Amino acid sequence: MRIDRDARVFVAGPRGLVGSALVRKLHDEGFTNILTASRDELDLRDQAEVSHWFKANRPEYVFLVAGTVGGIMANSTRPAEFIYDNMMIHGTVVHAAHQYDTTKLLYLGSSCIYPRNAEQPITEEQLLTGPLEPTNEWYAIAKISGIKLCQAYRKQYGRDFISAMPTNLYGPGDNFDLDSSHVLPALMRKFHDSIGEADPEVVVWGTGSPMREFLHVDDLADACLFLMENYSDDMHINVGTGVDLSIRELAEKIRDVVNPQAKLVFDRSKPDGTPRKVLDVSRLRNLGWSPTYDLDAGIRSTYDWFVAERAADGELRGMRSAPETV
């Protein structure tokens, strides 16, 4: 089902990594009525505000990509914010979409929903089959509740609400704060900051052995639009590349792009997190979608964007210690 390019499309969380990529994608695809609202304009945790906004704007399609996000440190030090903010955000938006008869909604979750020791690659069916990774369980529980909420409204009210679970993301618009960001942008920032030091060293949390998969955010935006137009099912669906590498290998790739002279130092007193996490993306591939960005090229283009933004004194997101609500 191809969406009418004049339809009212709401991107909830338009200034974040995913939301900004989605807005770019929708513009590129010729959408003429893209609805957005900043945090100052609309508190997505407030049901009354959200319902009022939906009543006034009547979006036909909703990309629910807003949330409070961050890495291991942010998750471990602010668990209440992570679970409260994220549960409230999807609760208010999903309910308002039902109230005001939204045609279709896509809820974006996270691959952290899966058990810590899930079989690899991780299929969608492994949800709720084992204990979660303790370092991000608050965020994971909130995201799982979002999936179940969409399923509940689908079951009880017949709503066409779907859920997509992306792997680790990176790209233009990412959060580069060293306390609250994810591993790839944090490493990029560390290597950049080490340029010009006499004996540059970059400290990497943990042993470097955990395996991770990374997806460029522009690929995710493309996948979200693809799913909105081609997928309608109760089951959530994985979005990724299906290819992983170790954190050590990732750090080496970023070092080679940003500051080849820097030495890697692994802080083994810090947690590794889940030992391995790579998604089984066969269901999405069978629908006809696949990513276009190679990781090496994606790292290079993201760093080029980072440097250009710094040089232009642009607004690099997340240069603060608190987790972000986007």
Using one digit for the tens of pLDDT, what is the confidence trace for 204-231?
999 999 999 999 999 999 999 999 999 9
Please state which CATH number belongs to domain 9-174+214-243+277-297+317-325. 3.40.50.720
pTM to 2 decimals?
Answer: 0.93
Please state the three-class secondary structure of 261-305 as a single string: CCEEEEECCCCCCCCEECECCHHHHHHCCCCCCCHHHHHHHHHHH
Give Cβ neighbours of residue 225 (< 8 Å, ≥ 6 apart).
22, 25, 26, 29
- Integer Cα distance of 190 and 203 in angstroms: 8
Structural contact between residues 224 and 237, judged by C-beta atoms closer than 8 angstroms: no
- Integer Cα distance of 203 and 28 in angstroms: 39
Find the mean pLDDT for residues 315-324. Answer: 51
Q: DSSP readout, 117-151?
A: T--SSBPGGGTTSSPPPGGGHHHHHHHHHHHHHHH
- pLDDT value at residue 71: 75
Query: Of 169-178, 213-222, 223-232, 314-323, where does mean pLDDT reach its minimum?
Result: 314-323
Using one digit for the tens of pLDDT, what is the confidence trace for 43-59?
999 999 999 999 999 99
Domain coordinates in residue numbering, the chain: 9-174+214-243+277-297+317-325
Find the mean pLDDT for residues 10-34. Answer: 97
Predicted confidence band at 314 (pLDDT cuts at 50, 70, 90)?
A: low
Mean pLDDT of the chain, nearest integer: 94
Using one digit for the tens of pLDDT, what is the confidence trace for 94-118?
999 999 999 999 999 999 999 999 9
Beta-carbon count within 10 A of 314 CB = 11
| CB-count burial class (<10 Å; 0-12, 13-18, 19+) for 268 | exposed
Q: Is pLDDT above 80 for 319?
A: no
Distances (CA, A) of 297 to 171, 183, 214: 11, 18, 12
**Residues designated catalytic:** 139
Q: Is pLDDT above 50 for 320?
A: no
Name which residue leads in pLDDT, 135 or 315: 135
